[in-house]
Structure 1
Amino acid sequence: MAESDVKAVMGEFFAAFATADMARIAECLDDDFVWTLPTGESDPHGLVVRGKAAATDYLKQRFFDDKANAPVLSDVKLEYSGDLAIMRFRVQVPASGGRKKVDSAGLEVYRVVNGKIRSKEAYWKQVSWPDAK
């Protein structure tokens, strides 16, 4: 797949994300989409979300049901290599619903196959280390 094709898919995905358009987001995802999140109960992988419907449900529930809780990305830098898109960014999410405020540097690695995003691996810097017990 040409880098220009990867850039086009990622551009559409980011535009859909910016407007919280779940249908457009889903159109960018492969049927076998896998999203590995930076946190969760499944060590060492964190939460793993599989499939378009699960991904859009998670996004809607986690970030977009309450617009005040939507993540704000800044300092975004994108790099492309073959079928990969690598995004470095700062993410800020306000505190709400019993959650702590997030202000962290992040990295996401996307793989695009046949014009659709097949996987997304997300990593955020952990700003505080748990106390050793």
Structure 2
Amino acid sequence: MADSDVKTVLKAFSVAFAAGDLDGMVACLGDDFVWTLPTGEADPRGHVVRGKEAARDYLRQRFFEDKANAPVFSDSTVEFSGDLAIVRYRVRAPGVDADGLEVYRVTEGKIRSKEAYWKQVSWPQA
């Protein structure tokens, strides 16, 4: 997929996110979408959301129903290479202020995967 196609899909997703348009965000996702989150207890890789409708449910809950605790993203930069987009950003939420990175894979005009990582500023104490 050309970088311009990946840019178009990622731009549509970002615009929908900024507008609070859940349907617009989900329209950018493939049915086989997999989202690996930077947090979560169930899996050493973080919580994994599988499928478009599961992503809709997670997005609704995390960003739209609990706005007081929803992460706020800023200082974003994006790089493109083939079917990948790499997004660097700052994330803030209650108790969190970190740099983050996400790797998106886009094929056939849809986001197929989103892997999110947050930089740890300290290691948990035993």
Report the TM-score when normalising by structure 1. Answer: 0.89
Paired residues in the alignment total 126
Q: 1:70 to 1:40 in 2, by over 3 A?
A: closer
Q: Which amino acid aligns with 1:30?
A: G
What is the identity percentage for the equivalent residue pairs of Structure 1 and Structure 2?
69
Question: Offset of 1:81 from its aligned partner?
Answer: 0.3
Matches of 1:20 and 1:127, distance apart in 2: 30
Matches of 2:77 and 2:42, distance apart in 1: 29
Equivalent residue for 2:69?
Answer: 69
Structure 1, unpaired ranges of 5+: 96-100
Question: Offset of 1:68 from its aligned partner?
Answer: 2.7
Matches of 1:48 and 1:83, distance apart in 2: 21
Pairwise mapping of residues 17-96 of structure 1 onto structure 2 (< 5 A)? 17-93=17-93, 95=94
Q: Choose which of 114, 123, 126 in structure 2 pairs with 1:129.
A: 123
Question: Offset of 1:37 from its aligned partner?
Answer: 0.6
Question: Offset of 1:71 from its aligned partner?
Answer: 2.1
User: What are the Cα deviations for residues 19-67 of structure 1, in whole angstroms up to 9, with x where unaligned?
Assistant: 2211001100000000001111233211000011111211111122133
SS in 1 for 2:56: helix
Structure 2, unpaired ranges of 5+: none
